C-alpha cells in the first residue's frame, strides 16, 4: 500500500494508543478478579487483490475470568476495491483506491449481569476521507442504571462538539443495530456515525473523545456487575441473546462485510462472534 499521509498516520497512532490503554484496563480488571489472563497478540499481513502488499494489523484476544472472550483489533490496510464493491463505498465508485485505519472491539462476558459491548472507530480515505464508528451496549439482562450511564457518557462526549450529534448518532445506532428478521434491537444502543467528513481536526477530536468516553464508561460498568450472583436461567438468557448477536454480525454488520470483501484477516473479523451461544 502507499505510504500514509500525515492525517492517516495520526489516526493510526491514536487507534493503536487507544488499544494499548483499553487492553491494559481490561487486564487490570482481570487482576482484580484474581485472574492472570492477558491478551495474546497476533500480527497479520494483507495482500491486495492486485498482488501488492495491502497493509495489515494486530489481532488481540483475551479469555479470562471476567472477560470470557474479548477481542481488540487494530488494522491499517489499503489498495484497491474489487469490481462492483467499489461502488458501495463512499467516494470509490470512480476511483477504487482506498486506505483504512481503525480499532474494533467486542467483549463477551462470563457473568450475564455484565453487558457485552462493541466499539469501533475508523478513518477511511478514497477520493473522499471521513471518520466513522461509535459504541453500543449489549446486555443480556439490561440494568437501567448502566444503560443510562453509558448513554450519558456518550452524550457528554458528543455534546462537547455539537449538541446535535448525540440525538442524531443515537437514532443512527437504534436504526443500524436492529435485527429485521427477529424484529428486535441487538442491545440497548449507544451511538453510531459514519461519513463524518467536515473539518479533519474537529472530526478527529470527536472520534478521540468517543474512545475516551468508552474507556471511562465500560470498565466502570464491568466493575459494578462482575461479582453479581446469577443462576442457570440467567445463563440461558445470555446464551440465547448471544445467538441474536451472532446473527446480526453475520447477516447485517457492514464492518464484517467490509473486512471479508477487502481480504482482511478472517479470525480478526470474526472475533466478534461469541465463544458459546444457543438457538432454540
As annotated, the active-site residues are 118
DSSP string, 13-75: HHHHHHHHHHHHHHHHHHHHTT-----EEEEEEEE-TTSSEEEEEEEEEE--SSEEEEEEEEE
Which is nearest to 237 in space by CA: 277, 270, 201? 277
Q: Which secondary-structure segment (H or E) carries 77?
A: strand 67-80
CA 126 to chain centre: 21
* DSSP-assigned beta bridge partners for residue 71: 61, 106
Separation of alpha carbons 244 and 185, rounded Å: 9
Separation of alpha carbons 166 and 144, rounded Å: 19
The DSSP output letter for 274 is: -
Axis-axis angle for helices 6-32, 200-225 (nearest 10): 10
Amino acid at each position: 500500500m502507499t505510504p500514509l499521509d500525515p492525517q492517516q498516520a495520526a489516526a493510526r497512532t491514536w487507534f493503536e494508543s487507544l488499544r494499548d490503554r483499553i487492553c491494559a484496563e481490561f487486564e487490570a480488571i482481570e487482576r482484580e478478579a484474581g485472574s492472570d489472563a492477558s491478551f495474546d497478540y497476533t500480527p497479520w499481513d494483507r495482500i491486495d487483490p492486485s498482488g501488492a502488499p495491502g497493509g495489515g494489523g494486530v489481532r488481540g484476544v483475551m479469555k479470562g475470568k471476567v472477560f470470557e472472550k474479548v477481542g481488540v483489533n487494530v488494522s491499517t490496510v489499503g489498495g484497491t476495491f474489487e469490481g462492483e464493491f467499489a461502488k458501495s463505498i463512499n467516494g470509490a465508485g470512480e476511483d477504487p483506491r482506498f486506505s483504512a485505519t481503525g480499532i474494533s472491539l467486542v467483549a463477551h462476558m462470563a457473568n450475564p449481569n455484565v453487558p457485552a459491548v462493541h466499539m469501533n472507530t475508523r478513518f477511511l480515505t478514497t477520493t473522499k476521507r471521513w471518520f466513522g464508528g461509535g459504541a453500543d451496549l449489549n446486555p443480556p439482562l439490561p440494568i437501567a442504571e448502566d444503560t443510562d450511564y453509558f448513554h450519558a457518557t456518550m452524550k457528554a462526549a458528543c455534546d462537547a462538539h455539537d449538541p446535535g450529534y448525540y440525538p442524531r448518532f443515537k437514532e443512527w445506532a437504534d436504526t443500524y443495530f436492529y435485527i429485521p428478521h427477529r424484529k428486535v434491537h441487538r442491545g440497548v444502543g449507544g451511538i453510531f456515525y459514519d461519513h463524518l467528513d467536515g473539518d479533519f481536526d474537529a472530526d478527529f477530536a470527536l472520534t478521540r473523545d468517543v474512545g475516551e468516553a468508552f474507556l471511562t464508561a465500560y470498565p466502570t460498568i464491568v466493575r459494578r456487575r462482575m461479582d453479581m450472583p446469577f443462576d442457570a436461567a440467567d445463563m440461558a438468557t445470555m446464551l440465547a441473546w448471544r445467538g441474536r448477536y451472532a446473527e446480526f454480525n453475520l447477516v447485517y454488520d457492514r464492518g464484517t462485510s467490509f473486512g471479508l470483501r477487502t481480504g482482511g484477516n478472517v479470525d480478526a473479523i470474526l472475533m466478534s462472534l461469541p465463544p458459546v451461544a444457543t438457538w432454540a
